[in-house]
Amino acid sequence: MFKLSPVWRLLLMAVGAFLIYASWTLWVNYNLDPAAAFFSAWVYGLYSFSITLLLSVTNEIAAKKLNHGARALAMFITVQTGFMIGVSYLVNYLAGTPDIIKTIALGAILSIIFSTSYVLGLRQSKLH
């Protein structure tokens, strides 16, 4: 089976996040204000790249260090997702995103799925 090094894995996920969330932001906001939509897409894409790197690194650490109980994992993901949603809202507010709630909704949902599956996957594999 082909395995990527942790650095490549983190970078590929971050680039993917940039592409997905910049496209999503542009699509959700374009009809409201095209100029603001392009700016917001660029800002949210860069933010998504950065936050994905941060979340991935913390997930790598959590998979190694966290108590392996379900409660510890749930608490970690709750705190991590709350942080991501709060910062996402702030970034989009400062960027002048026309529809912030629709813009960050996809990221919030995918963050919960991503963090949970990533940490569980790392804990069950020999990647860490």
Question: Going by C-beta distance under 8 Å and a sequence separation of 6 or more, which residues neighbour residue 65?
Answer: none
Q: Dump pLDDT digits (tens) for 44-96.
A: 999 999 988 988 888 777 777 776 677 877 788 888 888 889 998 999 899 89
Query: Amino acid letter at 107?
Result: G
Higher pLDDT, 33 or 119: 33
